[in-house]
Structure 1
Amino acid sequence: MANKSSNKNLHQASKAKKDEFYTQLSDIEKELGHYKKHFKGKVVFCNCDDPRVSNFFHYFSYNFENLGLKKLIATCYKNQNADLFSQNKVEKAIYLEYTGDKNGDKIPELNEIGIKELKGDGDFRSEECIELLKQADIVVTNPPFSLFREYVAQLMEYKKKFVIIGSLNAITYKVFFKLIKENKVWLGHSIHSGDREFGVPDDYPLNAAGCRIDKNGKKYIRVKGVRWFTNLDYKERHEDFILIKTYKGHEEDYPKYDNYDAINVDVTKDIPADYNGAMGVPITFLDKYNPEQFEIIGLGISNSGLEVGVKPYKKEHKKYRKEIQKRGAVDGDLYMITNGVVDVPYARILIKNKKVK
């Protein structure tokens, strides 16, 4: 039930373009603490942000000296409310610049924050926001889920370091998966399972389970299947994942695919320590992925699967899948035949253990 309601929240956000999910300060602190050495002397840019409610701006402005930052920039999309950060009374997008404490109290105050109007609406794709992006060394934010592919493409085009939060399903996007396979992007350190609570705008409809309104009237939803994505390195991702299961003597636990020479592994912790061939593992495997321990062959779905040698459906299996099971039959998806039934596991990553000869 929780999974359905969380997926409903994501679908709702995408459909209605309600992508303003405000990340909790506790989640930001847990993740960014692993990258402290990367921030010293750097310009941090929080685009797709709203400093009125953003915990990203809060985190970096209050930890500016501790992190040794050079500058903090945040863009705000059409801010028209008067508050600590903006006195605008007309619909204007703004950007903020903070270069550190001026009076010694290490608290960011209004007179220490440069507030400037943007000509446009603050969209991250606009020319003026791209000019701000060019100034940045590291981008940290929660981009719109519905524009995730376009957002990441821009970061890669301008060769930016980043720490961003997004849906776990982004792993199945063909272009984004290629970045993971080539070790140009990886999963962050702190979120590996469960759901996370996000703040949402006042006009966000709360019509699914897992939603709440706090005593101050602020709205929150819980979303399952989110992860941090980054290209800043941290030592834990180079630690070997300890494997305790074996293939020899337990072959029946690891059925082979009908259309690719690999065994299926349903749960990441069950990856056999003694198997030297290809294996299909859940996408959550990337939570444990060490590039020195495993080779990523490819993604076993759709065209991505065809590109790495996954064979199309056999005619009789496609017919069974469509007519008997009433399910889609996409060539390139890995599948097995289990007791005469076509069995298609959810998205699988094809891997090999580099340390098993």
Structure 2
Amino acid sequence: MANNSNLGAAKAAKNDEFYTQYADIQKEINAYLEYNPDTFRNKTVLLPCDDPEWSNFTRFFAQNFERLGLKRLISTSYAVESKKYKNYQPSLFETESPMFDIDKTRIKGKIFELTHDTNQNGRIDIDDLEWNYLEGDGDFRSKEVCKLRDEADIIVTNPPFSLFREFVTWIVDAGKQYLIIGNINATHYKDIFPLIRDNKMWLGSSYFNGGAAFFIADASLYDPSKMSNQKNAFFQNGQFLWRVNGVRWFTNLDHGRRHEPLRLMTMKDNLRYGKNKTLRERGYVHYDNYDAIDIPSIECIPSDYQGDMGVPDSILEKYCPEQFEIIGLGAGDLAKEIGITKNYRGRSDLAFTDPLTNKPSCPYSRILIRKKQ
């Protein structure tokens, strides 16, 4: 699992103000359009937990309103005081509006909507956004934002890091389609993994470079003395960028990469020609505490094995539901659900007796999969 010190620091500081870069949003959305050009057509898209004045999600969907064929775009933001800004400055977008009220801005969230060509210039884009204050502070759990959720077809956002689980529940309970950003560690959460197992959630189409994303963050967080690597946080074009490891898109929108099966070799060919040293030395080892074989790396998955296999988490990046089914997770309480109760060295994940040492060996927790017939 990803060692994410920057994400941990953000949670510890109770600072969830990490804005996604425009290019990352564009890359991901374009992948869905390539697979199905009508993915967003005639849909109402809600962008909660957003700051429309600053958010690139709002910019992207507003600027591409006509290309996407949207019916309605809604974006909501938290009130200033609820977010505890360190250096809040109202934008010109706010202050130049006759509705602007600094007292309301501090305690009330805002709603931005786009449905039609308000300025009658012949196109629908970001200049046609209309805004107003919400009754409450804009919390996505409030009744008025829940009402907007119920009116939406697709929910897209980078939710607060500290509220990811609760946010997913908020979406799933309403039966909505979604595209959100989270940390890869979430795939092991007991309330997230079942969604993945049951094909109600999967990873998005695009990867962030190097398995990490650079988010636009509050400049007050910049402290060179606390940065172990200066490349993880820096200023670029007047914006402070903060690198967060292990970031992925999570969605239930279909995309083409999800249906690309892995090209695999037989067990015999993997042992003879495979590049994985561990497999060549140990062979396919059977677990002591579950009826499955251990797969040290994705390329070692055999094409001709019909039983259960314990594979690394990276399978989720290449998972094709037509090729495999996910059985369960070999760690924690989720392991007990599939009958793994025998502990090794205080852990409840999969273990096997190492044929080289004849001692129980604990690999990292595995995802159990089975080849579809």
Give the TM bin, normalised by the shorter chain: 0.7 to 0.9
CA distance in 2, matches of 1:168, 1:20: 19
CA distance in 1, matches of 2:233, 2:334: 39
Tell me if 1:172 matches 2:172. Answer: no
> Cα offset for 1:249?
7.4
- For residues 111-260 of structure 1, the aligned pairs below 5 Å read 112-191=128-207, 194-206=211-223, 207-208=226-227, 209=229, 210-244=231-265, 246-247=267-268, 250=271, 252-260=282-290
More displaced stretch, 271-280 vs 59-68: 271-280
- The Cα RMSD (Å) is 2.1
CA distance in 2, matches of 1:310, 1:269: 25
TM-score, normalised by the number of residues in structure 2: 0.84
Segments of 5+ residues of structure 2 without an aligned counterpart are 81-87, 272-278
Kindly indicate whether the alpha-carbon contact (under 8 Å) linking 2:40 and 2:70 is maintained by their aligned counterparts in 1. yes
Kindly indicate whether the alpha-carbon contact (under 8 Å) linking 1:295 and 1:353 is maintained by their aligned counterparts in 2. yes
**Cα gap change, 1:150 to 1:213, in 2 (>3 Å):** same
**Cα gap change, 1:18 to 1:345, in 2 (>3 Å):** farther
Match of residue 13, structure 2, among 12, 16, 28: 16
Deviations, residues 153-201 of structure 1 (Å, cap 9, x unaligned): 1101111111111111111011211111111111111117522211112
**Cα gap change, 1:296 to 1:220, in 2 (>3 Å):** same
> Cα offset for 1:205?
4.3
Match of residue 110, structure 2, among 74, 94, 97: 94
| Count of aligned residue pairs for this structure pair | 335
Segments of 5+ residues of structure 1 without an aligned counterpart are 322-328
CA distance in 2, matches of 1:249, 1:214: 47
Kindly indicate whether the alpha-carbon contact (under 8 Å) linking 1:94 and 1:116 is maintained by their aligned counterparts in 2. yes
Q: Percent identity?
A: 45
Q: Which residue of 2 aligns with 1:325?
A: none
Q: Which residue of 2 aligns with 1:351?
A: 369
Partner SS state of residue 149, structure 2: helix
Q: 1:124 is aligned with what amino acid?
A: F
Partner SS state of residue 49, structure 1: coil
CA distance in 1, matches of 2:211, 2:93: 34
Kindly indicate whether the alpha-carbon contact (under 8 Å) linking 2:290 and 2:350 is maintained by their aligned counterparts in 1. yes
Kindly indicate whether the alpha-carbon contact (under 8 Å) linking 2:222 and 2:233 is maintained by their aligned counterparts in 1. no
Q: Which residue of 1 aligns with 2:91?
A: 83
> Cα offset for 1:32?
0.7
TM-score, normalised by the number of residues in structure 1: 0.87
> Cα offset for 1:202?
2.4
CA distance in 2, matches of 1:54, 1:257: 48
CA distance in 1, matches of 2:362, 2:137: 45
Q: Which residue of 1 aligns with 2:319?
A: 289
> Cα offset for 1:120?
1.8
- Which consecutive segments of 4 or more residues in structure 1 shift more than 4 A? none
Kindly indicate whether the alpha-carbon contact (under 8 Å) linking 1:93 and 1:121 is maintained by their aligned counterparts in 2. yes
More displaced stretch, 193-202 vs 45-54: 193-202
Partner SS state of residue 39, structure 2: helix
Partner SS state of residue 146, structure 2: helix
Partner SS state of residue 203, structure 1: helix
Tell me if 1:275 matches 2:305. Answer: yes
Kindly indicate whether the alpha-carbon contact (under 8 Å) linking 1:22 and 1:199 is maintained by their aligned counterparts in 2. yes
CA distance in 1, matches of 2:351, 2:190: 19
Partner SS state of residue 150, structure 2: helix
> Cα offset for 1:216?
4.4
Q: Which residue of 2 aligns with 1:34?
A: 31
Kindly indicate whether the alpha-carbon contact (under 8 Å) linking 1:277 and 1:352 is maintained by their aligned counterparts in 2. yes
Deviations, residues 36-77 of structure 1 (Å, cap 9, x unaligned): 321011111000111122110010000001111111111111
